[in-house]
Chain A
């Protein structure tokens, strides 16, 4: 019988959307599913996790050292928890999961399967390589624990239902002091979260400046959409880094993705392959983005984006 431990993604007060996806991945593996929240005071976050369909128990390890999301602090606690008969350790493919899980895997002396997009068996998975140009099936040999991150865009979030038990727990692990948290600068705002928004409007290099990127924000607001960007737009400083979509940014699967002034480089496309409908607006009819778009419009964005915003009532 599998016994799966999931590291919860959270911001210190609420559960992140990646965890419901990770629970769905765990449910595909099958077995008992415990979610653990490492936080300063994680009872409320664990209570949220407990309502996810498939969860057996929601644990929280409350400690001052868990106030900040430090991998060097989290990993030894996970390794210690795994000694309680767990067969799998999972987390979402968020920057938190990506930071912590390989460190825990190495402490456990086992390899990791990153970005699981399909479960073929308790130790058999599919994952993307080469920026999503190939999908490899892998099997984890041996009888050590399986450690993996779950690619959120590939799984439907676990639904919520009756609450599983919530339990406070403690772990004994050596907590290092060589790593100290200083601060987080979040530009956030109240727009829908890019990673989980059902609609996303993204802008590329063509916007030309941070001021012009306002066109994207305005259009997104009329559609109640999240905002994304290409690497070129982030590198040029039009928008902050957390808006980058792609191989090395966020991998997203909104119902609707609108790419504006984005050429469609493979590294960008790998971030949106699972989107429901892709709309592309580009003035170059030969732009590669039109090879993947469901609806394409060859036009100058500076004309059509304000028109769209206007017609949608913005």
Chain B
């Protein structure tokens, strides 16, 4: 079985993103870029499945600017076998990403596709669900535990009410939550080895995908600021302040 893992290149989670003063976008030139944290977890899970004998090949895929090569190389250094970069200029909505991934799924015929539950730049939380719909296959989103056996996956999902368990037939789409695993660190020799692993580049148009472009971003603004509050000295003052506000 092959496993396809989607890695998105995003602004590193430690960067505090600022809106451009003219409201035309966010200022991210030159900031640190990384693999979306949820996608690192997705890759780690795929590698563990392969290491346990559940899969033969792990393929990492990214869609976007050619700089995403860096994140794919990191993915290869973590242990993926090969990489595919689908180059695309300009913004893509999750539906575009899902349509693109579907093309690769049709070509590679993986038994599992693992994505992050959400990209921490657009915070959309859509792509995995959309891919599963377009592919006509099951989805197990927000996974915190995955067990493969007999052509099916038993997946524990983090839901608002607690932990939900579902069973899905393979092939299927999984999206990862934070507690699925802790991704491994990349070792230096692996980075050297990764340079020799295959990284294929395809233009999005050559896959026959036309970006939908139906969601237009018209303006960007910083979030409303909270007013600076007061500091109190002790518990009595704290309780007094809460009483004054009518909160106790």
Contact = CB atoms under 8 A, between A and B. Distances in A.
Contacts of B241: 295
Interface string B151-192: 000100111111111111100100001110000000000000
A131 B123 CA distance: 7
B242 interface: yes
User: Helix, strand, loop or mixed for chain B's interface?
Assistant: mixed
Nearest to B233: A297
B162 A242 contact: yes
Interface string B129-149: 111111011111110100000
Interface in A156-171: none
Give the interface size bracket for A toward B: 35 or more
B11 A255 contact: no
B232 A295 contact: yes
A137 B23 CA distance: 10
Chain B interface category by residue count = 35 or more
Question: Secondary structure of the A side of the interface?
Answer: mixed
A297 B238 contact: yes
Contacts of B178: 231, 235, 248
Contact of A106 (B98, B158, B216): B98
Interface in A283-304: 290-299, 304
Interface in B4-51: 11, 13, 16-19, 26
Given A106-B98, A113-B215, A255-B247, A186 B235 contact: no
Contact of A248 (B117, B232, B238, B239): B117
A185 B163 contact: yes
Nearest to B37: A248
Interface stretch (B55-63, B78-86, B219-227): B219-227
A298 B141 contact: no
A112 interface: yes
B69 interface: no
Contact of B238 (A99, A195, A308): A308
Given A137-B221, A140-B215, 17 more contacts: A72-B132, A106-B129, A106-B134, A112-B124, A130-B11, A130-B17, A138-B215, A141-B213, A141-B214, A144-B214, A180-B168, A182-B154, A183-B165, A292-B229, A295-B242, A296-B229, A296-B230
22 contacts: A95-B142, A103-B132, A129-B121, A133-B16, A133-B26, A134-B17, A137-B219, A137-B220, A140-B214, A140-B215, A141-B213, A144-B214, A179-B140, A185-B165, A186-B162, A235-B179, A242-B160, A267-B13, A294-B230, A296-B231, A296-B232, A307-B235
